[in-house]
């Protein structure tokens, strides 16, 4: 049964079966008032946000010259630094988390144009797309109806999109399955392509060079290991695939602004949730756990 549409909280939705592998999840927000800014860590996903009421305010994060500003709607590509953002008043929003290859199919553009930045959806989807989408979402009488609206909007985009390169799919799948612990040489053997071509394909289909993607995936692997694994940072570094603890410390600071020890402390305060394989539930550290409901 759908939750009352006017009840504040967070609501998690699943996409239609035809969008599996494209959409990781839908997440709805109803803010009754201002909500503290939250930190989102870099992850291997692209996010489309549509809101009405008080807009999202990005306070820091995107590396490519995006000043702090309010965003009623946005698309965020893969990031290499934490993003701090929050809502300064009451309102609604829906987040659509996309796999990189799914975003490539839906957005119809090379994803390196989105890397380390955010952009207004109309620049990609066409003038008026965001306003039309949010008008439909705002008029819906349940969260489940909102997920159906999103399904229809995305299915129309998907029908006109090009399929990703099989070699890009193979290289990205290998990176994900190995938690980033795969070299360019190994990807050339697996795909039969040269290193330069693999780098081009991953920048186009995922958004970042393979070395950077490996850092993000290894970082999330370390967080997943740490949620159930050793307390020793030396053991954690070894289990997660870092050369040594210093290597892990550098990557954690670059990707989260915190040391491994600080993140472990925050994870103990708020244990990590289930991982979809594309995005880990390691965001919003140190904040009260919101009520999560499947609509």
Mean pLDDT by 10 residues, the chain (295 residues): 72 94 94 85 93 90 69 94 89 95 96 95 96 97 96 94 92 93 93 96 96 93 76 85 91 90 72 36 35 33
Q: What is the pLDDT of residue 159?
A: 87
> Is 166-269 a CATH 1.10.3720.10 domain?
no
Distance separating alpha carbons of residues 119 and 64, to the nearest angstrom: 11
> Is 9-162 a CATH 2.60.120 domain?
yes
Taken as a whole, the chain contains a residue count of 295
> Which phi and psi angles does 254 have, rounded to 5°?
-70, -40
Q: In a 3-state reduction of DSSP, which class is residue 261?
A: helix
**CA distances from residue 218 to 60, 147, 223, 287 in whole angstroms, order as listed:** 24, 32, 9, 24
The two structure tokens encoding residue 116: 């380390």
The domain ranges of the chain are 9-162, 166-269
The two structure tokens encoding residue 163: 């399929």
Q: What is the pLDDT of residue 230?
A: 65
Q: Residue 217's CB: how many other CB atoms inside 10 A?
A: 21
Global confidence as pTM = 0.86
């Amino acid at each position: 049964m759908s939750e009352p549409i006017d009840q504040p909280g967070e609501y998690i939705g699943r996409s239609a079966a035809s969008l599996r592998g494209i959409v990781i999840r839908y997440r709805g927000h109803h803010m009754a008032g201002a909500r503290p800014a939250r930190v989102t860590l870099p992850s291997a996903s692209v996010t489309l946000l549509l809101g009405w009421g008080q807009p999202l305010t990005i306070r820091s994060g995107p590396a490519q010259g995006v000043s702090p500003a309010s965003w009623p709607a946005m698309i965020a590509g893969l990031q290499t630094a934490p993003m701090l953002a929050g809502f300064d008043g009451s309102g609604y929003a829906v987040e659509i988390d996309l796999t990189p290859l799914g975003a490539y199919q839906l957005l119809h553009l090379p994803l390196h144009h989105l890397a380390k930045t955010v952009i207004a959806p109309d620049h990609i989807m066409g003038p008026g797309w965001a306003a039309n989408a949010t008008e439909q979402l705002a008029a819906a009488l349940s969260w489940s109806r909102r997920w159906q609206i999103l399904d229809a909007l995305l299915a129309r985009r998907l029908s006109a999109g090009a399929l990703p390169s099989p070699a890009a799919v193979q290289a990205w799948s290998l990176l994900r399955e190995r938690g980033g612990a795969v070299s360019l040489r190994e990807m050339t053997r697996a795909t039969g392509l040269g290193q330069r071509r693999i780098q081009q394909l991953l920048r186009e289909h995922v958004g970042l060079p393979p070395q950077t993607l490996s850092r993000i995936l290894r970082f999330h692997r370390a967080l997943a290991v740490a949620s159930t694994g050793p307390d020793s940072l030396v053991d954690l570094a070894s289990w997660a695939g870092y050369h040594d603890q210093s290597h892990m410390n550098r990557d954690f600071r670059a990707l989260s602004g915190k040391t491994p020890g600080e993140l472990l402390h925050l994870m103990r305060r708020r244990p990590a949730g289930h991982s979809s394989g594309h995005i880990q539930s390691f965001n919003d550290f140190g904040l009260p756990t919101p009520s999560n409901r499947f609509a």
